[in-house]
Homo-oligomer: A and B are copies of this chain.
Amino acid sequence: MKNELVLQAFGQHLRRLREARGWSQQALADVADVSKPTIYRLETARYSVTLDVLASLAQGLEIPLSELMQFPVPPRSSAD
């Protein structure tokens, strides 16, 4: 799990998208067909996430995958 900053940025982005819809983590987990712990872990940047899950999230959020990936990517740290 290198590139931790990207994961944090994505987590925040995902949370904003979810909250903008007034959904609980459980509700998003349901419509996206992923587990509730996964939602929690992504929003809190505890792990990375696979393209599989990204596609499911986009589908659950009813937005294109490319839009789900439209979040500010922080500059790479000098340590990689």
* Chain A contacts to B: CB under 8 angstroms: 1-3, 6-7, 10, 33, 48-52, 54-56, 58-59, 64-70, 73, 76, 80
Contact = CB atoms under 8 A, between A and B. Distances in A.
Nearest to A48: B50
Most chain B beta-carbon contacts within 10 A, residue among A3, A67, A73, A76: A3
Nearest to A10: B51
B65 A7 contact: no
A69 B73 contact: no
The 4 closest A-B pairs by CB, nearest first: A48-B50, A69-B69, A6-B55, A66-B70
15 contacts: A2-B56, A6-B51, A6-B65, A10-B51, A33-B80, A48-B50, A48-B51, A49-B51, A50-B50, A55-B73, A58-B73, A65-B73, A66-B67, A66-B70, A69-B69
